[in-house]
Amino acid sequence: MTTYSLGPKCRNEREKNAWTDCVELYEHSINKIKSTVDPNTKCSATDAQTWLSTALTNLETCKAGFEELGVTDYVMPLMSNNVSSLISNALALNHGYYTESSNTQVDGFPTWVSPGDRKLLQSSSPSSTASQANVVVATDGSGDFKTVKEAVDAAAKNKGSGRFVIYVKAGIYSENVEIGEKVKNVMLIGDGIGKTIITGSKSVGSGSTTFRSATVGASGDGFIAQGITIRNTAGPQKHQAVALRSGSDLSVFYQCSFEGYQDTLYAHSNRQFYKECDIYGTVDFIFGNAAVVLQNCNIFARDPPNKINTVTAQGRTDPNQNTGISIHNCRITGAGSTKSVRTYLGRPWQKYSRTVVMKTFLDGLINSEGWLPWSGNFALNTLYYGEYLNTGPGSSTGNRVNWGGYRVITSSAEASKFTPANFIAGNSWIPATNVPFTSGL
């Protein structure tokens, strides 16, 4: 109730923006906590640890929104309640069960999957896709709607229990799209990278929170996107400006492109999988506190104003959160001229930041130290940063940082913890989407 009471105290638009985020995020946290204790909700130990991790992440995001907009006078009273501590205690209590389950789930696919969904992702013909979609979006008026937002609104009104498929024809859609928490099992399918483009320009520099700056934000579980470019064109001078934000549990992104500068891809929370995607950015451009695996993706570092790039900024705040960024069998290279740019694999946004880069090609733009501090000695002994069997001119670990939390992984058993099968329980839900993936190393 403290969060709701802040509304009337908001003195300007910036404060109102941060407060609006907090109301939504607190509601999401309440729903995730309810799901872990509801006897009518199927909940494995992995599910519980994921949803509790998400609940805690939401509270941290609320606090961050106030701070990044310079609203601090009543943030600490808001955050001084014991909700975060209670969630941390629950994470610790459940951790033993979660570890014993080896991060796997019972066999079988989510209830929302039907054979038609799997065939749809196999289809390479736009006309075939259109015929199977619930609605079609086209800028020229040849579909059911002219904007993606209108199609998402239609999905929200849909009373069916199956997947709602939105086919977005080739074109440029200048809009910000939110797929809310209650809008589950939505699939956006475009005509391909560079053909179907959703673009926006919100940023912290223009008064938005990082959370709300997203061109596309997905909170409803089971979200899938394929063949779409999502951009944020705010530019490198506007600071945090998100292209995609996903807090959707069991979400999949296949053959999509995410284009921005600082904070391009916000893997906010829950379990996520990215396959054959392109990600462009500069500062912390893959960040958040989801349990996320990026596989066979192209990661492009752009030319930043201060000539320093950080590919990742992972935000784990509690050692029992089952979150982290796993970059598997990808390519990290430069976009354009980056000869004078120092590029690092990541820096610790939060105390227990966790990122692993495995079997990935690292171009020569990667600095020999590999990783960059956030501030002084913060998190250097509590983070978990690992590299395993990477290749390319930037992959040598001979001059890497000597932090307590950094390690060159030599054990395949240790590396396997960060594969789709083990890190996000992918064998129990990714096959149902028919997106090709490598389960193990």
Q: Catalytic positions, please?
A: 284
Q: Which helix (H) or strand (E) holds 36?
A: helix 13-37
H-type alpha helices, 38-82 = 45-68, 75-79
CB 144 within 8 A of CB 137: yes
CB 275 within 8 A of CB 256: no
Pairing assessment for the beta strands 298-301 and 331-334 based on DSSP bridges: parallel
Euclidean distance between CA atoms 224 and 133, whole angstroms: 13
- Amino acid identity of residue 255, one-letter, is Q
Of residues 284, 236, 247, 232, the one with CA closest to residue 263: 284
Euclidean distance between CA atoms 174 and 375, whole angstroms: 37
Euclidean distance between CA atoms 120 and 122, whole angstroms: 5
Q: Which two tokens stand for residue 223?
A: 């979200």
With H, G, I as helix, E, B as strand and everything else as coil, classify residue 194: coil
Euclidean distance between CA atoms 107 and 97, whole angstroms: 18
Which residue's entry shows tokens 């589950």?
184
Euclidean distance between CA atoms 324 and 326, whole angstroms: 7
Euclidean distance between CA atoms 141 and 1, whole angstroms: 45
Of residues 290, 295, 390, 307, the one with CA closest to residue 349: 290
What is the separation of C-alpha 50 from the centre of its chain, rounded to a whole number of angstroms? Answer: 14
Euclidean distance between CA atoms 275 and 168, whole angstroms: 20
Q: Which two tokens stand for residue 64?
A: 């961050």
Of residues 277, 219, 286, 209, the one with CA closest to residue 241: 209
Give 407's contacts (C-beta < 8 A, 6+ positions apart): 384, 385, 386
With H, G, I as helix, E, B as strand and everything else as coil, classify residue 218: strand
Is residue 434 packed enough to be buried (19+ CB in 10 Å), middle (13-18) or exposed (0-12)? middle
Of residues 182, 180, 196, 186, the one with CA closest to residue 166: 186
